[in-house]
Amino acid sequence: MNRTQQFTAIIKREEDEYVSLCPELDIASQRNNVEEAQQSLVEALELFFETATLTEIQSRLHSAVFITRVEVNIG
């Protein structure tokens, strides 16, 4: 039986590529555009879950990830 779970995807531009990151598992990927970067991250996550042991998944999984904005005095 297949089941799905949602994870966070952070995608940012770095020079000529887009880097996608799943902070819950510290898995990243990169591609030429946002859509490809997102799809590549999905593929990397699926491969991880296909090959990782339960112990590895549990040791890498951050169950609480908070994404927020902070205000910083820069001058």
pLDDT in tens, 10-30: 999 999 999 999 999 999 999
Q: What is the mean pLDDT of residues 55-61?
A: 95
- Name the pLDDT band for 63 (thresholds 50, 70, 90): confident
Q: List the domain boundaries for the chain.
A: 10-60
Phi first, then psi, for residue 55 (nearest 5°) are -65, -45
pLDDT band at 75 (very low <50, low <70, confident <90, very high): confident
Predicted local distance difference test score (pLDDT) of residue 40: 98
**Which residues fall within 8 angstroms of residue 32, CB to CB, at 6 or more apart?**
16, 17, 18
Q: Residue holding tokens 């990151």?
A: 21
**pTM of the model as a whole:** 0.86
- Contact between 44 and 60 under an 8 Å Cβ cutoff? The reply is no
3-state secondary structure of 62: coil
